[in-house]
Chains A and B, each alone.
Chain A
């Protein structure tokens, strides 16, 4: 891993004749990557310790010759340049760190021979499984045997037989024959997930990856081992045999399960999402993400998905529904329940909607237990977006932890086999409940929030007219007078502000489900229907309005937001008692630690 370095820490190395200054301690693989030279490797991973056991990254190295007596560099009389003493044997690139004057050859005949030899040994016991292997298409063994291998095998003996379909845990299937013993998965569980369950047994070519006795690979980060497996040994049980990766379109997205905002890639084909994998962002999630975030796409095609506009329980059209909603709001007494799951843009429009209706805004808090890694305590991905856009001025009230129903994200109840903390601190909305009971609130507009889970009893809901904008059916949508089906995070583009106040964008991965409407469009039309200004509903135009009105976002547009996000100035909200504890790349401010949560 490259640490940002002061210029003084830079050392100049020479890779294939090209000089480059790299931070001290950078290894040869990373340094070569900077000059565009590929050093093939299997066991090395930038976010894990270096073990150097695959030997694929062998390179030739040399250092400038120094006169033993005077300690001055010896110059080559022919060229006038320092003479390089090349080491007679190859070195591993991952374990060789940049030092001043280091010279590297990655294309010499020796290196080429080494790579061919290593490839041949790796393929000796590797089964010819590619047609049925899920890794095919993104397999390092395929890529590097094509790029650096010999092209034919001299091995005529019978290959080793190992277990082919071992369930290491609820979500990971292991094919031991394909394993090349790089130990990335072992290092990951030990170093990152801190759940040391994997190890090798037996010796030589009989070495086999397995779980320690009595243990299973079932932590909430188990699927990262599948991502980092350079071959098809570890495969995702869920994605197994579902689709070949070369058909899948990759869309950058954000994991909406908590305020960490892990960067993800959504893999889809023809409008169907097949899997979600992490996307590298060294400031947020490195190259990891939680297993729980990978199943959220199932909400898109879930049976409880809302796909029809309903007015008083009957199917309707958008204009009629909007007019019905406007009529419900006519007499005042409106309350808006915004959402910490909405995007920044939606929250901005929600704020305008509330302002037009002069309605109070409530937000549902969703507090669980942080796991200290990539699932934070605040399960609302965009509470800070609500603060930035001014939808709310202070944090929503936090209820008793774990008192309510199991957490549901985008309508999907998370698998019970998933051992990560499934708290859904009840969000009392006590003030709103009191207002409803007193009769001052007659209409509630809910943006995808199930008010029943948020502690408004069904009896209270019968006292008010509910206008529900959301993706999934629930008790609130059932009780609602007007239901406007909207989009899941995979069907729209937008931005979220994570716990670091980093605004990150996600893009639309699949087309909207039939019958569901874009949140922004529905909100903009609703604002117009209740007598507010005409606001744009497409991102580009809307961002001009947002930038003009929200000082923190003044210089931003959706298009110029970098893929790794942009840190916003958090000082206006520094004193707020945020609930997050420490997670990867995030330390809560002192005030938050002292807060009584």
Chain B
């Protein structure tokens, strides 16, 4: 391949003094001196989280305090980095939510593995797992970075429910449709 020699244009006198460039640089600095800040004093200041943000995955209760997860393990199945580990279990027959029959005995999300993709939330048939606003998660050991069931419910709290699917089911049991 042919090499084309390009000769550099000689500097003008003004350029050789460097003064116009220095003045231009100072102008930019001066402008930012008075302009509003783009950065913030993290962690004292925190950014506003936009809706639809995919933060740390959490488990949620319904407004009646029932844990929504029924441990169907679809999130465990769909999780690309295999961060989720569920031990399913049965609900005690004398529990008020016994008609739901199933809940997780243990639910672990390894936040060292989680890639915040949100597939678990998307696949959840019970709307029990949500990626909420929490974005910062720290720990001093690998074990600390695994969120267990209790931690996940602490992080998740209660979210509104549009369906109350299982409450309807329980109501139907008492309704006139049994025979």
Contacts and interface: CB of A to CB of B under 8 A. Distances in A.
A246 B70 contact: no
A202 interface: yes
Interface string A424-439: 0000000000000000
Contacts of A587: none
Which range holds the interface residue count of chain B?
Answer: 20 to 34
A161 B173 contact: yes
Interface in A102-140: 127-128, 130-132, 136
Contacts of A131: 70, 72, 74, 102, 125-126
A161 B88 contact: no
B60 interface: no
A268 to B, nearest CB: 16
B172 A158 contact: yes
Interface in A161-213: 161-162, 164-165, 202, 206
Interface string A311-342: 00000000000000000000000000000000
B88 A242 contact: yes
Interface in A458-477: none
Given A131-B72, A132-B72, A136-B72, A161 B177 contact: yes
Contact of A241 (B74, B76, B89, B179): B89
B178 A162 contact: yes
B101 interface: yes
Contacts of B90: 240-241
Decide if the interface of chain A is mainly helix, strand, loop or mixed: loop
Given A130-B125, A241-B90, A161 B178 contact: yes
Contacts of B72: 130-132, 136, 244
Interface residues of A, number: 22
B120 interface: no
A160 interface: yes
Contact of A164 (B70, B76, B99, B126): B99
Nearest to B174: A161
B177 A247 contact: no
A243 interface: yes
Interface in B98-142: 99-102, 125-126
A244 B179 contact: no
Contact of B77 (A158, A160, A202, A246): A246
A160 to B, nearest CB: 6
B43 interface: no
A159 interface: yes
A161 B74 contact: no
Contacts of A242: 88
A206 B178 CA distance: 9
Contacts of B172: 158-159, 161
Nearest to A165: B101
A164 B70 CA distance: 16
A447 to B, nearest CB: 37
B70 A132 contact: yes
B71 to A, nearest CB: 8
Interface string A143-166: 000000000000000111110110
A42 B71 CA distance: 28
Interface string B56-77: 0000000000000011111011
A166 to B, nearest CB: 13
Given A158-B175, A161-B178, 4 more contacts: A160-B177, A161-B175, A164-B99, A244-B88
9 contacts: A130-B72, A131-B72, A158-B172, A162-B178, A165-B93, A165-B101, A241-B88, A241-B89, A244-B73
